[in-house]
Amino acid sequence: MKVESLDEGLLLALLNTTPTVAGEVTDRLADPEEAGAWIAEHAGEAHLGEDLALLRSTRDTLQALVHDQATPTALAPALHGVSYQPFISDTGISWRLATPREHILAARAIVAWDALRHTAPGRLRACENKDECTLFFVDHSKSNSARWCSMAGCGNRMKARRHYERRKNAPTIT
């Protein structure tokens, strides 16, 4: 089954709800009001009944999976009651995700993660700027060589840091 680009976007948005701001990791889903705004922004107001504890737990597990610190079995609570159901029309059969209303976003993020794991293995990764960044990205580059969430932000900072270290450690010529 093909992952909708919207669900890849939802997966990344969920993974990136713990950004580093001014040197501190923040959690956009910790405060119910901020979490509601995040859900409305990324999935629409129809999903405001989402189980926030399950969504946070699913996010944490998905982040651990990307870091190779968990196994997929840890996702079981978010998949309880989830299935695919056929939808038949005059043009054929399609499959729709069926899930309890209170954890459809968690289930959609898991399905998107699993689809990426199969169709683009290793392309969902954490930014390599580990000192300043906690964001995740999907590497869509042809060479599969992206290392940072943003070349303009983290990429430039990392390159400037390496350049400074090389210059600082270079022997001086007199």
Give all domains of the chain, ordered by start, each with its CATH number: 5-169 (1.10.3300.10)
pLDDT band for 145, please (50, 70, 90 cuts): confident
Mean pLDDT across 73-89? 94
Local confidence band at 21 (pLDDT 50, 70, 90 cut-offs)? confident
What confidence category does residue 3 fall into, taking pLDDT thresholds of 50, 70 and 90?
very low
Range from 19-23, 69-73, 170-174 carrying the lowest mean pLDDT: 170-174
pLDDT value of position 10: 95
Mean per-residue pLDDT for 126-138?
88
Structure confidence at residue 45 (pLDDT)? 87
Task: With CA atoms as reference, report the closest residue to 125 among 42, 65, 69.
Answer: 65
> Residue 154's pLDDT band (boundaries 50, 70, 90)?
confident
Q: What is the mean pLDDT of residues 4-20?
A: 87
Of 2-11, 83-92, 162-171, give the lowest mean pLDDT range.
162-171
pLDDT at 100 (0 to 100): 93
Given a cut of 50, is residue 33 above it in pLDDT? yes
Confidence at 168, pLDDT banded by 50, 70, 90: low
What's the mean pLDDT when you consider all of the chain? 86
